Amino acid sequence: MSSFYEQVGGEPFFSDLVSQFYAHVATDPILRPMYPDSDMKGAAARLQMFLEQYWGGPTTYQEQRGHPRLRMRHAGFHIDSAARDAWLNAMQVVVGGLEMDSDLRAQLWSYLEMAANSMVNQPD
């Protein structure tokens, strides 16, 4: 059984996903102010490494950043339901536009929805 990472075509898939996602972040009124002005490239690289590792690709994220502990790493950002929706909407546009198998798309989407819900740290 090959990994999800291999089935979607490896690094180029994740690079495409993340660069398109950050193009949305750059113009989103809720998300843009949350991300570091001077290090959008770094932010994109971290998300790409994380997703590649999560889906069975190289473990560069772990080597450079340590254990993901994503909820903890997001604790410093004000993530309410509006921020989650903005993040997920941007992802939905991107994931919906990528060339990929529909079962793999469904798997990716259900993970992203679950993960985004788990990152909410502010009540409405």
Stretch that binds ligand HEM, among 12-20, 43-51, 93-101, 102-110 (CB under 6 A): 43-51
- Cα distance between residue 66 and residue 99, in whole Å: 31
In this structure, what token pair is assigned to residue 24?
A: 């949305």
Among 70, 75, 82, 106, binds ligand HEM (CB under 6 A): 70
Among 17, 57, 84, 108, binds ligand HEM (CB under 6 A): 84
Number of residues forming the site for ligand HEM (CB under 6 A): 23
Give whichever of 12 and 36 is closer to ligand HEM, judged by the CB atom. 36
Give whichever of 4 and 35 is closer to ligand HEM, judged by the CB atom. 35
- In one-letter notation, the amino acid at residue 49 is M
Q: Which of 65, 117, 72 is nearest to 91 (CA)?
A: 117
Give whichever of 104 and 116 is closer to ligand HEM, judged by the CB atom. 116
- In one-letter notation, the amino acid at residue 96 is G
- DSSP letter for 37, please: G
Count each helix (H run) and each strand (E run) in the chain, helices first: 7, 0
Question: What is the dihedral sign for C-alpha 97, 100, 103, 108?
Answer: negative
Among 32, 74, 89, 105, binds ligand HEM (CB under 6 A): 74
Q: Which residues bind ligand HEM (CB under 6 A)?
A: 31, 34-36, 39, 42-43, 46-47, 50, 65, 70, 73-74, 77, 79, 83-84, 87, 112, 115-116, 119
